Structures are given as structure tokens and as C-alpha cells.
Amino acid sequence: MQGHSLAITAPDARLPLSRREIAGIAGQVLLDIRNAVADQQLMSPEFSRCLVALAIKFKTEGLAAISIGDFAVLARPVLNQLQIQPSPVDLVAIGQALLGYMPVMQADMQKLAGMDFSPPKLETIAPPLPHKQTTWADLLDEWRISKGGVVEVDGVGVSERREEVYQVSIKEFTRVITDHSASAITIANARAYIRYLQTDSGLSPRTQQHRITCLKHLLKIGVRAGLVQENVFADQVISTPAGTNDERGYRAFTKAEVIMIFTELKTNHDKHHQQLCYILLCTGCRLNDALQLRSFDLQRTDADVWFFNWKHDPSHQLPMLLKSRAKNNRQTPLHPRLIAEGITELDHSGVHRLLGDDMPKAQCYSHWFRKLLIRLGIWEPRKLCLHSIRGSAKDLQREAGMTVDQRMAMTAHTSRDIGESSYGEGLQMQPSILYKHLAFLDLSWLP
């Protein structure tokens, strides 16, 4: 029968162990055996299974078939406890350390046989165990718990979309700086990441700070839960260069630019992309709000006014996740131009996304729209993007004479009047009334 290895399967070079850590792990394995004998206790079931596997191989294949790395199977319980995934090279080193400790272990066991329960010599030789390795995944789990769960799964807590923001920061940090566990990163690693963000990332200072904030928050939760000893990002900040605040924020498109954009859409892009942009302009909604519209969100009042019924609904099979949750619930009337573009003719039977279940993510539309602006020669870095259409919608509503409350009801911004925002349904839940004011918005000049 061909021999097979009992060594623990692990990725190559994953969390490489130092010689001190290897010696500590091997020493703890033998000390656990010695202490179990001294106290007349059984070893853990996991250790017993590892020992049985090693004994079976010895019995069936002989001592020559057992490699040094095979002895490391005895360290499996300790490694699992520490959440350490050793490389094959580390496993061989652990096996060698176990064999190296055998003479000392034999002398300690002889002392026990002679009723000598003084501290074993191995305890004075072997270094302490390394600290438990906490991964970024562990910190994300703890973060989810602290938030109450994930809304798509638990109905409460944070959205999967918000979690993706943390994942982006983690992936970039581990790709650019180090793939060590979260509990093993240093202040030097944190400083190196900040230097990368400021010099090589190409991100805006605001986005750079957001990256740091995500990692800082995860480590803060880790310290609080006892998963990491130190938050190395605690005092790390990225300053905003002088003059940046003067340039902050996206500007709205001019009417001439809107005409250029929608002419391009009508000429060279499919109906899906056209209708998406008309929804953004005619309602002033956010991109994610438009993409999440479901077939049954397209409704009609008793007065025959068509409207989108945006309602925060995280636990539905097709969830609707609004930025400010229920505060962004609204019933937005459809401008006549939207109806003319065929929005009401979309299939709104059954249960599916109104614009299609196979839609790309918002980021894909943002990249697509930037290319469109570049092709038209009107793109301005950090000034014009797909979100600028929301500003254009606001300007058009102002031009049509719509009041502040009417504009806020259309675009899901919170009213400044506490009475309006806290008592009653509010204008944003009265599409028939809001439609009377929206009808004054002239969009006949659109292509």
C-alpha cells in the first residue's frame, strides 16, 4: 500500500511561523500530554483522533513510512485553537521540534512515574505559545455582530453593499502592504499604507480618509472584543490639502450638456440605459434607488397618477435598501416625459427588478457614464459624473418654481421643518398633490 501523509493541509507560505513560535507550539503539545497524565485526565477528542491516525499509519506502514511532518498532526488541536494555518515547511519544523523535545519529555515522564510532581523541565525550556491569529474576516464577523446582523439575511443591521466598502479597504491593504493577519500588522504597516494612499493610489483625500476609517473601525472593534491588542490606525489621519474644500462636491450639468448627453443616449445606447438616465433626471433619485426599483414599485393612484413607491424593505426576496432607511420612503410621481419614454410599459407584473434582474452594479454604470462624458468632451475629474444628474434635476425643479419642500419630497432629502418631517405622512407620500407641481416642469426640450 502506498504511503500517504498525515500532515495538516495548508496553503503554502500562509502566515509563516518563526522558530520561537514553532518551539512554543511543539512544547505546548507535549506539555498537554504530560499534564493529562499527571492529572489522570483524557486528552481532547480531537487530539485522540490525531494520535489514532498516527498510530494506524505506524502499525500498517511501519516507522519508516512516517515523515517528520507527519508528527505535526499532533499539533492540530493547538493550531486550530490559535487559528494558525501553517505552511508545509512550518509543519516539518514543528515535527522536528517535537522530536527534539523527546529526551526532555522522556525525563519528565520518568519523574512522574517516580511520583515527582515538581514543575517539568520542558516548561522552563519551551517558549510561550504565540498569540491567537485574528484575521480580517474575524473582525468583519465581529463588526456584523456589533451592527445587529446583515439586513439581507437578518432583516436588521448593515447592508451587504456597506460591507463591500470595508472589503475594498481590506483587499487593497493586504494587496499593497501585507497579507499578515489583522493581529500581526504594525504601526509601520499603517504608515506605509497611508503613504501609498497619498502618493500612488490616485484617490481623492476624502476617499483616502474613508479607507483609513474602515480599517480603524474594524481594529477598534477588535480591541474591544479582545481579538487584537492594539489599533495601529488609531492616531493615523490623512489631512485634506489646502484648497481642496473649495473644490469639493459635484456640479450639476448645464442644459446644453444635458442635451448633449441625452442626444448621445438616444443615438448610440440601448433603451435600458436611456430609461435609467431619464428616471434619474425626472425624479432626482440616486442611482442605487433607480436600480433597485421592482416591478410592483410602479403603481398608480386613484386619480390615475403613476408613481414609484420607494420603501425601505430589507427582508424582501428582492430587497429595497434606501440610504437613510425608512426616512427615505417616498412615493414619487412620474413626470409625463417618463411616461412618454415607455416606463409605464415596462413589465410590472410578477416579482422582478423593473429595469431587469440582470443589471450590472452601480459602479459599472458609473464607469460607463464616465466614458460617455469623456467621449463627449465634457468630463471633469471629481466634478462631473452620473450623480451630477441629481443636481441637474434639482436645478430644473427650482427653475419650474417648485418649493424647497416639494423638491425635498421628490429627492428624498429630509425637510428642515421638524413638524413636516416628524408628523403625518408628509408631501413625499402624496404623489397626486406633488404631481400638480411637477407638471410645471417643462422637459419638452429634451431629445
Boundary (domain end) residue, out of 103, 125, 147: 125
Quick one: cell of 359? 443589471
Residues 194 and 269 in one domain: no
Residues 418 and 301 in one domain: yes
Is there a domain that residue 314 lies in?
A: yes
- Phi, then psi, of 332 in degrees rounded to 5: -100, 120
What is the domain range of residue 341?
255-438
Is there a domain that residue 217 lies in?
A: yes
For the whole model, what pTM was predicted?
0.61
Helix or strand (DSSP H, E) at 265: helix 255-268
Query: Among 361, 162, 398, 418, which Cα is nearest to 284's?
Result: 398
Is there a domain that residue 2 lies in?
A: no
Contact 14, 180 (CB under 8 A): no
Is there a domain that residue 231 lies in?
A: yes
Residues 261 and 315 in one domain: yes
Residues 156 and 305 in one domain: no
pLDDT digits (tens, 9 = 90+) for 13-41: 344 688 898 999 998 988 998 898 888 88
Mean pLDDT, residues 304-311: 96
pLDDT band at 423 (very low <50, low <70, confident <90, very high): very low
pLDDT band at 243 (very low <50, low <70, confident <90, very high): low
% of the chain residues with pLDDT over 90: 51
Burial profile 170-179: b = 16 or more Cβ within 10 angstroms, e = fewer: bebbeeebee
Chain mean pLDDT for the chain: 86
Mean pLDDT, residues 89-107: 90
Can you name the residues that pair with 353 across neighbouring β-strands?
A: 294
Is there a domain that residue 45 lies in?
A: yes
Mean pLDDT, residues 316-335: 91
Cα distance between residue 169 and residue 212, in whole Å: 8
Residues 212 and 272 in one domain: no
Boundary (domain end) residue, out of 95, 125, 155: 125
Residues 284 and 430 in one domain: yes
Cα distance between residue 340 and residue 319, in whole Å: 28
* Domains: count for the chain: 3
Is there a domain that residue 65 lies in?
A: yes
pLDDT band at 419 (very low <50, low <70, confident <90, very high): very low
Distance, CA of 419 to chain centre: 37
Hey, how many other C-beta atoms are within 10 angstroms of the C-beta on 314? 18
% of the chain residues with pLDDT over 70: 91
pLDDT digits (tens, 9 = 90+) for 252-299: 999 999 999 999 999 999 999 999 999 999 999 999 999 999 999 999
Cα dihedral across residues 248, 249, 250, 255: positive or negative:
negative
The CATH number that applies at residue 201 is: 1.10.150.130
